[in-house]
Amino acid sequence: MKHSELKEAALSKPEVKAAYDEMAPEFALLRQMLKARQSAGLSQADVAERMGTKPPAVTRLESSLGNGKHSPSLATLQKYAHAVGYKLQVKLVRS
């Protein structure tokens, strides 16, 4: 079975779909972070050095957004953004 088929089957369950939708903003942020790092031509070790931390911390940061186990602070996200040549923007939108 293909990944897309497994995903479709899982998302057909209302409780799974609700949990997935709740994490959509985190998945979107993670995609943006990875794209920014890759377009800057930086490894996780490069980003860690620029942030003044160790490579495993960047690995945890990037993986934490995809698993929902940890919410990084705004300060950490700002450091990451700066390290990859970006500026972090946070905004509220009406639901």
| 94 assigned to some structural domain | no
Rounded to two decimals, the pTM is 0.80
Q: What is the sign of the dihedral through the CA atoms of 12, 14, 20 and 25?
A: positive
Distance CA 60, CA 47 (A): 13
Residues 21-78 pLDDT 10s: 888 888 899 999 999 999 999 999 999 999 999 999 999 999 887 776 778 999 999 9
| 90 assigned to some structural domain | no
| 74 assigned to some structural domain | yes
How many domains does the chain divide into?
Answer: 1
Distance CA 2, CA 40 (A): 31
